[in-house]
């Protein structure tokens, strides 16, 4: 009876132990892989180093028994999660210009990983520190190489060209880096900002303000000159018109007097011709002032009358 009880308890213990081992095995073997992630299942050698060509890759999203739980528990297999979708570097890189002005270059770079090169990338960077070790350092090195060839003013005037040169140099360097094994794909580069020292920024702002004031002053000067020239031209045209009008009146008067003298049959150099001329001029004068006076007194002294306008008359 005692033996049966012992056997029963032994079987129970074995079942419980087997169940625990099964639970542990299942927990170690079952893996859930997220979107944009890849699971690397790495077979380890006795030395604790990954065995070459013994790395399998499972791309997410996926769930399943992708790992040998026993091997994982005893250290003969390990799993590594790698994010292969879009990753971002967004940071500030201190640089110097050709004229030794310190600038802070803000860069944003995006990339994704070529899933066919994940095993090579892991072999070169078991700690997955490829961004800090390779990408960041190469980016900083090449951006500083570009900025040292341009003066501070050039970085303002030729910013698009400088951004394009930075991008080309960074991409070329990253693609050619052997340790990255060509794993970077779909790279984008954006030069977001170039920050200058505060005193330099103030100097540029002052210079731009002075240039704007100079341009405004030049504009005002040209405007005043144009207006003055237009006014002068207007005055000249008006004066010419008045002069021409006076000449026309004088010529008309001369012709009228000449006709009167011819009609009177007197010589042009005689006293009578002079009197005719005086009478004609006085008559024309009376015509011009007639609309503006209420009364007119003529005093005859010889041939030529004297015009006397009372003070209560309106004189233009």
What average pLDDT score do residues 284-307 get? 59
Three-state SS at 165 = helix
Could you tell me if 71 and 106 lie in one domain?
no
Is pLDDT of 287 > 70? no
The pLDDT tens digits of the residues spanning 41-78 come to 887 766 556 666 678 888 888 887 777 665 666 667 78
Is pLDDT of 104 > 70? yes
- Domain span at residue 277 reads 212-308
Residue 185 lies in a domain: yes
- Mean pLDDT over all residues of the chain? 76
What average pLDDT score do residues 299-304 get? 53
Query: Any idea what the CATH number is for the domain that residue 115 is in?
Result: 3.30.479.30
Could you tell me if 150 and 217 lie in one domain?
no
Residue 301 lies in a domain: yes
Residue 314 lies in a domain: no
Q: What is the pLDDT of residue 204?
A: 66
Could you tell me if 91 and 185 lie in one domain?
yes
The answer to whether 72 touches 108, Cβ cutoff 8 Å, is: no
Is pLDDT of 285 > 70? no
Could you tell me if 156 and 238 lie in one domain?
no
Residue 77, sorted as left (phi over 0), alpha (psi -120 to 50) or beta, turns out to be beta
- Confidence class of residue 280 from pLDDT cuts 50, 70 and 90? low
Could you tell me if 187 and 221 lie in one domain?
no
Considering the chain, what percentage of its residues have pLDDT values greater than 90?
A: 23
Residue 242 lies in a domain: yes
* 233 or 219, which is more confident: 233
Q: What is the pLDDT of residue 315?
A: 47
* 305 or 162, which is more confident: 162
Is pLDDT of 38 > 50? yes
The answer to whether 107 touches 139, Cβ cutoff 8 Å, is: yes
Q: Minimal CA–CA distance to 107: which of 132, 139, 78, 150?
A: 139
The pLDDT tens digits of the residues spanning 164-222 come to 999 999 999 999 999 998 999 889 999 999 888 777 666 666 666 666 677 676 767 77
68 phi/psi in degrees, rounded to 5: -80, 105
Q: How far apart are the first and last CA of the chain?
A: 155
Three-state SS at 139 = helix
Is pLDDT of 259 > 60? yes
How many domains in the chain? Answer: 3
Residue 216 lies in a domain: yes
Q: What is the pLDDT of residue 164?
A: 94
Handedness of CA 280, 284, 290, 292 (dihedral sign): negative
* 137 or 51, which is more confident: 137
Q: Where are the alpha helices (DSSP H) in 265-300?
A: 271-289
Measured between alpha carbons, how far is 106 from 147 in angstroms, rounded to an integer?
A: 13
- Confidence class of residue 227 from pLDDT cuts 50, 70 and 90? confident
Q: Which two tokens stand for residue 85?
A: 């979708």
What average pLDDT score do residues 126-134 get? 90
Boundary of a domain, candidates 165, 196, 227: 196
296 phi/psi in degrees, rounded to 5: -145, 130
Q: What is the pLDDT of residue 168?
A: 94
The answer to whether 280 touches 249, Cβ cutoff 8 Å, is: no
- Confidence class of residue 230 from pLDDT cuts 50, 70 and 90? confident
Residue 7 lies in a domain: yes
């Amino acid at each position: 009876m005692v033996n049966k009880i012992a056997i029963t308890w032994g079987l129970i213990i074995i079942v419980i132990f087997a169940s625990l081992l099964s639970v542990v095995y299942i927990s170690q073997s079952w893996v859930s892989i997220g979107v944009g992630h890849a699971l690397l299942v790495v077979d380890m050698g006795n030395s604790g180093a990954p065995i070459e060509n013994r790395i399998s890759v499972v791309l997410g999203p996926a769930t399943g028994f992708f790992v040998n739980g026993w091997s994982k528990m005893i250290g003969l297999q390990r799993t590594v999660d790698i994010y292969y979708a879009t990753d971002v570097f967004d940071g500030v890189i201190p640089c110097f210009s050709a004229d030794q002005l310190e600038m802070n270059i803000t860069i944003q770079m995006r990339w994704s990983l070529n899933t066919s090169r994940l095993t090579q990338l892991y072999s070169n960077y078991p700690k997955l520190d490829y961004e800090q070790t390779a990408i960041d350092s190469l980016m900083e090195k090449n951006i500083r190489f570009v900025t040292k060839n341009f003066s501070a003013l050039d970085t303002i005037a030729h910013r698009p060209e400088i951004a394009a040169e930075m991008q080309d140099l960074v991409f070329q360097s990253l693609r050619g880096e052997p340790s990255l094994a060509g794993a970077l794909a779909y790279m984008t580069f954006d030069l977001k900002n170039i920050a200058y020292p505060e005193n330099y920024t103030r100097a540029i702002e002052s210079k731009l303000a002075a240039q704007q004031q100079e341009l405004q002053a030049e504009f005002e000067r040209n405007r005043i000159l144009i207006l003055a020239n237009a006014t002068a031209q207007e005055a000249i045209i008006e004066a010419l018109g008045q002069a021409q009008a006076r000449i026309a009146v004088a010529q008309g008067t001369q012709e009228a007097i000449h006709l009167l003298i011819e009609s009177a049959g007197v010589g042009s150099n005689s006293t009578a011709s002079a009197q005719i001329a005086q009478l004609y001029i006085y008559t024309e004068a009376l015509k011009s002032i007639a609309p503006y006076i209420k009364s007119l007194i003529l005093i005859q002294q010889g041939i030529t009358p004297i015009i006397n306008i009372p003070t209560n008359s309106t004189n233009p």
